[in-house]
Amino acid sequence: MSRGILFVLSGPSGVGKGTVCAALRRKLPELIYSVSATTRAPREGEQDGVNYFFKSRDQFRHMIETDALLEHAEYVGNYYGTPRDFVEKTLSEGKDIILEIEVQGALKVREKFAEGVFIFLMPPSLNELKQRIVGRGTESQATIDHRLSVAVEEMNLLHHYDYAVVNDEIELACNRIDSIITAEHCKRERFLGELFQQLEVANTADNI
Ligand code: 5GP
């Protein structure tokens, strides 16, 4: 059985990764979603083990020390990380898995899983990203300016990714990601190993 494919969906903060991923979950229920660990408090309606594994700082530190996380990063004062075992298990069962994580974590995963498929979610324009960050609500001008400069730096990381998907409309972005998944399954490399095996068996049978 061939291994599943690891997909990483990342991009600048404010681009809508969470919303696109939630829509993707509805559209592609057979795709496995990695549930991250975090030290941030649950928001209303969020469930432990469904949206995140909610951890204390000590519990999270223990996960780091025991190498239980594939990657982790600090984001706005909280820790976020990807539990390693679940990713490994899913891939070895031949199933695809998707991680929705911020850019620093995505770069760390890239170092360990060069064969993964890295998708960068883009805003339609920088101006649009600015509107989305400002539109989030009640933050001070200094915080908005900081978030914006971070978002611009994050946009510069696009060249580390395999694909860029513009998040102009959630449904369109989901369709593009669905197409990427299909295309990755059609890569010839995924067939070569199995084909060679079949040819060897055929040759051996001929020789008998
Ligand atoms: P939120 O607190 O809004 O759910 O997530 C904040 C940010 O953390 C988002 O950009 C999200 O993609 C990112 N994030 C969620 N889980 C992980 C994770 O396991 N690792 C990393 N590096 N980032 C994560």
- Say which residues have a Cβ less than 8 Å from residue 75's Cβ, sequence separation at least 6: 13, 102
pLDDT at position 41, please? Answer: 95
Residues 144 and 78 in one domain: no
Please classify residue 3 by burial: count the beta carbons closer than 10 Å to its beta carbon, then call 0-12 exposed, 13-18 middle and 19+ buried.
Answer: middle
Annotated binding site for ATP: 11-18
Backbone region of residue 16 per phi and psi (left: phi > 0; alpha: psi in -120 to 50; beta: other values) = left
Residues 86 and 186 in one domain: no
Residues 91 and 107 in one domain: no
Contact 31, 199 (CB under 8 A): no
pLDDT at position 138, please? Answer: 64
Residues 179 and 81 in one domain: no
Q: If you measure from the C-alpha of residue 166 to the centroid of ligand 1, how many angstroms do you get, rounded to a whole number?
A: 19
Residues 112 and 12 in one domain: yes
Residues 63 and 43 in one domain: yes
Element (H, E) at 179: helix 170-185
Question: Is there an atom of ligand 1 within 6 Å of 80 CB?
Answer: yes
pLDDT at position 56, please? Answer: 98
The CATH number given to whatever domain includes residue 180 is 3.40.50.300
Whose alpha carbon is nearest atom 4 of ligand 1? 18
Residues 57 and 140 in one domain: no
Tokens of 123: 């805003």
- Give, for ligand 1, the residue of 15, 36, 46, 85 to mutate: max count of ligand atoms closer than 8 Å to Cβ: 36
Residues 117 and 201 in one domain: yes
CA distance 177 to 121: 10
Q: What phi and psi, each to the nearest 5 degrees, are found at residue 67?
A: 60, 30
Residues 159 and 184 in one domain: yes
pLDDT at position 139, please? Answer: 72
Our count of domains for the chain comes to 2
pLDDT at position 207, please? Answer: 67
Question: Is there an atom of ligand 1 within 6 Å of 96 CB?
Answer: no
Question: Is there an atom of ligand 1 within 6 Å of 36 CB?
Answer: yes
Per-residue pLDDT of the chain in tens (208 residues, 90 and over written 9) = 689 999 999 999 889 999 999 999 999 999 999 999 999 999 999 999 999 999 999 999 999 999 999 999 998 889 999 999 999 999 999 999 999 999 999 999 999 999 999 999 999 998 888 888 887 666 788 878 888 888 889 999 999 999 999 999 999 999 999 999 999 999 998 888 778 888 888 888 776 6
Q: Give the residue from 95, 116, 134 where a domain finishes.
A: 95
Residues 119 and 201 in one domain: yes
Q: If you measure from the C-alpha of residue 102 to the centroid of ligand 1, how many angstroms do you get, rounded to a whole number?
A: 5
Domain that holds residue 141: 1-31+96-208
Q: Give the residue from 43, 66, 95 where a domain finishes.
A: 95
- Give, for ligand 1, the residue of 80, 120, 147 to mutate: max count of ligand atoms closer than 8 Å to Cβ: 80
Whose alpha carbon is nearest atom 2 of ligand 1? 40
Residues 26 and 122 in one domain: yes
Q: Give the residue from 95, 114, 141 where a domain finishes.
A: 95
pLDDT at position 136, please? Answer: 67
The CATH number given to whatever domain includes residue 73 is 3.30.63.10
Residues 8 and 43 in one domain: no
CA distance 123 to 131: 10
